[in-house]
Amino acid sequence: MRIIGGKYRGAILANVGKGDVLAQLRPTADRVRENIFNLLINGGYGDLVKDAFVLDAFAGTGALGFEALSRGASCVLFIDDGAKACSLIRENIDILSVKKYAKLSKRDITKYIKNDEIKYNLIFLDPPYGKNLGEKALTVLLENGWLSDDVVCIWEENSQKKAPIGFSILDCRQYGDTWIHILEKQA
């Protein structure tokens, strides 16, 4: 797996190997990541990545968050509760030398987590497919002060989803068996 664009373009990230079957580690394919970032930067919304405060939930390898840092995000908080995922993220932070801009939190994003610090304006959600964890995470983030008013959420699933309460869908695209939903917080 590699970084596709930006200042770290071409950097090879930690090898997932067999990953963690229980954690359902399945990094977002290069082609899908490239399409996501094309939408975020050139999709008619303005550049949503440059200077963004990014939260990469269900981060897995952290590929989406690292891609955002490579393309000009200010900082990224990676959240995952899997030991293998956290190990890979730590390794990737070291590979890219981005400790100053990247933090890792080992926790379950679907549980109550109060936030009184940074309000994030770009969220990546890539939960294990088919378990309704994306809806739960979005609700927790909304109810507990994690989201800026102008937040945009990128939610990856294996089927088309409806926006949870408090959000609306800006765009929805299918790439093979992957559905990408771009959501915004309702005013």
Domains contained in the chain, CATH given? 30-185 (3.40.50.150)
Residue 21 tokens, joined: 């079957």
- 185, 149 Cβ separation under 8 angstroms: yes
Dihedrals phi, psi of 90, to nearest 5 degrees: -60, -45
16 Cβ contact list (under 8 Å, min separation 6) = 1, 25, 27, 61, 88
Our measurement of the distance from residue 178's CA atom to the centroid of its chain's CA atoms, rounded to an integer in Å, reads: 14
Tens of pLDDT along the chain (187 residues)?
Answer: 899 999 999 999 988 765 455 555 667 778 889 999 999 999 888 899 999 999 999 999 999 999 999 999 999 999 999 998 999 999 999 999 999 999 999 999 998 777 778 899 999 999 988 888 999 999 999 999 999 999 999 999 999 999 999 999 999 999 998 999 999 999 7
Residue matched to tokens 């930690």 = 14
CA distance 74 to 136: 26
Sheet with 102-106: list strands edge to edge. 102-106, 75-80, 53-57, 120-125, 147-157, 178-185, 167-175
**pLDDT on residue 132:** 87
CA distance 166 to 139: 8
CA distance 148 to 176: 31
**pLDDT on residue 131:** 86
Q: Count Cβ atoms within 10 A of the Cβ of residue 60 and give its class: 0-12 exposed, 13-18 middle, 19 or more buried.
A: buried
**pLDDT on residue 114:** 79
**pLDDT on residue 184:** 96
State the pTM of this model: 0.93
